[in-house]
């Protein structure tokens, strides 16, 4: 596994501020810019590091797991714990900088000068919030929800042409799908080949446009989507479902769907990582003499805690391996129970008398 240390690449410490990250990136990007005979591989690496560390969510992800979604190291695992921000993630103050990665690929990606068709513009990504109870994440769970999104048009099968109608070459790009564009960046103006605005990179267009989708090849529709949320999913965790975002125009690839988990607060347990915390009230007699305390765990199973005699209020008991299942490895978190000794209220006459007796005994 090739895990890159993004902090090291930018010459930073793990606790670097946003400002330090920005500065380090700006200096290094200048130094290694291919336009100044810099090291191309290094430049790409710097950009990759900056894209992650400049994005609060991606940085958190990276700090926690050592990678962000889209990492090829994740292999065939479909669920990517991944928060996607639109665009290149650059937040410079020199106006629109565009996506440096794209420009870079233009120069070094081997595509220069080739008369290849334009990279088709994908459909946009969709992000939805999925509200879950804490009980929902102790096992993997399937949830369905309805999303209003662009789907491929049935009438034209997504190509935008009336059934039986021909397609013709796009005049604007002469069938190449690409046009020349000027792009302004902090490092100067680049001439770049961009997507043809007329045909969106297809190189051809329908002669007669489909009368349902008006040539778009996609229509807005509500679609039911089922997702399986793995056990141990946490609040604000984001899962991606590749290809379930908006359909692209005229059979261009679909975007991705991002599902963000919104865990509702629980009435007994507070979650911290995979551990659960709760405060349990016990009568002072149980604290003094000892006894059992029963609590219901999230799986509705009863946990019996043996309270030793002479337990003080505020004492915390740990119950190992009964918390939330770990998301990325075997086992579970723990449960921490804080016992709070209750002072009795609304005493009966007999109780008062007995307590008076205890007082006489010096309690």
Using CB under 5 A as the criterion, which residues of the chain lie in contact with Zn ion when the complex forms? 153, 155-156, 170, 172-173, 196, 198-199, 210, 212-213
The residue (of 209 and 227) whose beta carbon lies closer to Zn ion is 209
The residue (of 52 and 199) whose beta carbon lies closer to Zn ion is 199
Q: What is the smallest separation between the CB atom of 172 and Zn ion, expressed in angstroms?
A: 4
**Which residues on neighbouring strands pair with residue 142, listed in sequence order?**
228
Q: What is the smallest separation between the CB atom of 229 and Zn ion, expressed in angstroms?
A: 34
The residue (of 49 and 170) whose beta carbon lies closer to Zn ion is 170
Q: What is the smallest separation between the CB atom of 196 and Zn ion, expressed in angstroms?
A: 3
CA angle 121, 123, 127 (to 5 degrees): 135
**Number of helices and strands in the chain (H, E):** 7, 16
The residue (of 10 and 156) whose beta carbon lies closer to Zn ion is 156
Q: What is the smallest separation between the CB atom of 86 and Zn ion, expressed in angstroms?
A: 24
Tokens standing for 317? 């008991």
If we measure between CA atoms, which residue out of 314, 318, 132, 127 comes closest to residue 232?
A: 132
The residue (of 170 and 261) whose beta carbon lies closer to Zn ion is 170
Per DSSP (E only), the strands in 286-355 are 291-296, 302-307, 316-319, 335-342
Per the CB < 8 A criterion, the answer to whether 196 and 179 are in contact is yes
Tokens standing for 139? 């096992």
The residue (of 212 and 288) whose beta carbon lies closer to Zn ion is 212
**Which residues on neighbouring strands pair with residue 337, listed in sequence order?**
278, 317
- The β-bridge relationship of strands 238-241 and 80-81 is antiparallel
Please name the residue ranges forming H helices in 192-340.
284-289
Q: What is the smallest separation between the CB atom of 160 and Zn ion, expressed in angstroms?
A: 6
The residue (of 49 and 173) whose beta carbon lies closer to Zn ion is 173
Distance separating alpha carbons of residues 46 and 26, to the nearest angstrom: 10
**Which residues on neighbouring strands pair with residue 149, listed in sequence order?**
221
The Cβ-side half-sphere exposure at 328, using a 13 Å CA radius, reads: 12
Q: What is the smallest separation between the CB atom of 88 and Zn ion, expressed in angstroms?
A: 24
Per the CB < 8 A criterion, the answer to whether 104 and 112 are in contact is no
Q: What is the smallest separation between the CB atom of 102 and Zn ion, expressed in angstroms?
A: 19
Q: Is 98 left (phi over 0), alpha (psi -120 to 50) or beta?
A: left
The residue (of 172 and 320) whose beta carbon lies closer to Zn ion is 172
Q: What is the smallest separation between the CB atom of 118 and Zn ion, expressed in angstroms?
A: 8
């Amino acid at each position: 596994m090739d895990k890159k240390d993004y902090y090291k690449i930018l010459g930073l410490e793990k606790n670097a501020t946003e400002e330090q990250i920005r500065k380090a990136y700006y200096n290094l990007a200048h130094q290694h810019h291919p336009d100044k005979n810099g090291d191309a591989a290094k430049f790409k690496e710097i950009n990759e590091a900056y894209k992650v560390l400049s994005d609060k969510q991606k940085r958190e992800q990276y700090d926690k797991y050592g990678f962000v979604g889209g990492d090829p190291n994740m292999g065939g695992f479909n669920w990517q714990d991944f928060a996607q921000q639109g665009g290149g993630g650059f937040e410079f103050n020199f106006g629109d900088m565009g996506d440096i990665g794209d420009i870079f690929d233009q120069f070094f990606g081997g595509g220069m000068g080739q008369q290849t068709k334009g990279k088709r513009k994908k459909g946009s990504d969709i992000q939805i919030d999925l509200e879950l109870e804490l009980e929902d994440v102790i096992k993997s769970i399937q949830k369905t929800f309805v999303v209003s999104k662009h789907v491929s048009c049935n009438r034209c099968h997504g190509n935008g042409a009336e059934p039986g109608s021909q397609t013709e070459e796009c005049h604007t790009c002469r069938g190449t799908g690409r046009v020349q564009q000027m792009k302004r960046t902090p490092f100067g103006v680049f001439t770049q080949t961009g997507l043809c605005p007329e045909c969106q990179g297809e190189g051809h267009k329908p002669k007669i446009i489909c009368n349902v989708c008006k040539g778009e090849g996609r229509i807005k529709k509500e679609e039911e989507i089922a997702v399986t949320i793995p056990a141990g999913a946490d609040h604000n965790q984001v899962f991606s479902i590749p290809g379930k975002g908006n359909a692209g125009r005229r059979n261009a690839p679909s975007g991705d769907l991002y599902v963000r988990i919104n865990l509702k607060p629980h009435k007994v347990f507070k979650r911290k990582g995979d551990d659960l915390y709760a405060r349990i009230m016990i009568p002072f007699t149980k604290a003094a003499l000892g006894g059992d305390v029963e609590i219901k765990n999230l799986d509705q199973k009863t946990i019996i805690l043996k309270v030793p005699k002479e337990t003080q209020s505020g004492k915390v008991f740990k119950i190992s391996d009964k918390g939330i299942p770990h998301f990325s490895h075997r086992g579970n978190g723990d449960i921490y129970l804080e016992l709070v000794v209750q002072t009795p209220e609304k005493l009966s006459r007999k109780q008062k008398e007995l307590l008076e007796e205890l007082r006489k005994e010096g309690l």
